[in-house]
Amino acid sequence: MSSLRGVALFTNEYPPYVYGGAGVHVEYLARELSRLVPVEVRCFGDQNVRDPNLRVRGYGPWAEATHDTDPKFRGALDAFSRNLSMAKDTLAADVVHTHTWYADMAGVLAKRLWGTPLVVTTHSLEPLRPWKVEQLGNAYHLSSWMERTTLLDADAIIAVSQETRADVLRHFEVDPARVHVVHNGIDLDQYRPDAATDFLVRYGVDPARPYVLFVGRITRQKGIIHLVNAIPDIDPALQVVLAAGAPDTPEIGAEMTQRVGEVSAGRGGVTWIREMLPREAAIQLYSHAAVFCCPSVYEPFGIINLEAMACETAVVASAVGGIPEVVVPEETGVLVNPAIKPGTFDPADPAAFSRGLAEAINRVGLDEALRVRMGQAGRRRAEEHFSWASIARQTLDLYGTLLGQAEAGEGPSGGRP
């Protein structure tokens, strides 16, 4: 493998501003890569870290980008303006690696300005998230163009699951040889069972009673409304804990509030934690849950399932995207088929999907021997297949291949076949 002077990671999310799986991925990938090569992270925010092998630079908004425009356009226009700032600053790296459409165009521009190979990780795909029109309006078409342009221009595309790789090839005219699968990972030292219960008590969860747990954002993609609709069919012996914040839009936030109120009426033990949890609180909630539920209708990988498994918690999840590559049916959890309506990401029968979730949650959550067996199997699977050290090494090997091709005069040449 060719030696690397350094790697530049371009991203929206980076601690302390992490709200999804992509941010978790970049945080741990940067940490592991920096043990092997110099790493610079350029991200959205005010971060300023100068460790010996890890430099983190935050980029703030350009006020003019969101002045006198439709409020729904602001996210995409703000991202585009920060991308320009990230790309134009002097770059001392041999590879640029972007994460999510928010930072993709910075990679395209940096490739042109600094002559570096471009790697893109697809944590999700805009064509598979049409509900974002509700959030972004016509700016959804701008975010889609940014993503498409970058994927077509990339020298290598990393998909976080085999299913995501198939999605890339279905929706974009890219050379299959340029699309590689490298899974997400888990920090097995951080994510492990925690016997303490102080966070449970703080949030009003009874440590003496079993509960089903959801952790995630309030968004159509995460399918939380289907779990909420399942609550009337979930055995009242099980508490329901919804650690759900950051609604995509005021409308979905209002819908969530109304529906939780309706299904909670006359049923005790429903706790809604409306803030995004600090990591230590999430680990504790995972650790004591009888079952973790991931009801997503679209999920390229589903790192939250891996977090739960590492904490020895059984999982009930929807059988979509990359989830079946993480959760082994009847071994580490139970998968429920949402039977997505063709051409959409809506379950063909939402009521049946919610009933299926409830049945699986009751089956696992009320059977202590089953949930213990699945939880232990989940931890073993996390240990055997998803360490960040291994994922960083796979990523570094891909960088080396690209540099070898460049030195041989074979690239960078873009992603078109």
Report CA torsion sign: 119, 123, 125, 126. negative
**pLDDT value for 410:** 62
Query: At residue 414, does pLDDT exceed 60?
Result: no
In the structure, what pLDDT confidence band is assigned to residue 114 with cuts at 50, 70 and 90?
very high
Reported as type and span, the H/E element at residue 201 is: helix 198-203
Query: At residue 415, does pLDDT exceed 50?
Result: no
Average pLDDT estimate for 135-159: 89
CATH number of 7-185+387-407: 3.40.50.2000
Give the closest residue to 295 by CA, choosing from 398, 222, 403, 197: 222
For the record, the structure tokens of 216 come out as 């995630």
Residue intervals of the chain classified under CATH 3.40.50.2000 are 7-185+387-407, 198-385
Q: How far is CA 365 from CA 199, 235, 242, 313, 315, in A?
A: 21, 9, 16, 10, 10
Give the closest residue to 213 by CA, choosing from 337, 307, 329: 307
**pLDDT value for 411:** 55
**pLDDT value for 320:** 94
Please name the residues in contact with 227: beta carbons below 8 A apart, sequence gap of 6 or more. Answer: 214, 242, 293, 295, 354, 357
For the record, the structure tokens of 168 come out as 């890339």
pTM, 2 dp: 0.83
What is the percent of the chain with per-residue pLDDT over 90, rounded to a whole number?
Answer: 78
More confidently predicted of 268 and 342? 268
Average pLDDT estimate for 154-173: 95
**pLDDT value for 377:** 98
Is 16 in contact with 49 (CB distance < 8 Å)?
Answer: no
More confidently predicted of 121 and 64? 121
CATH topology of domain 198-385: Rossmann fold (3.40.50)
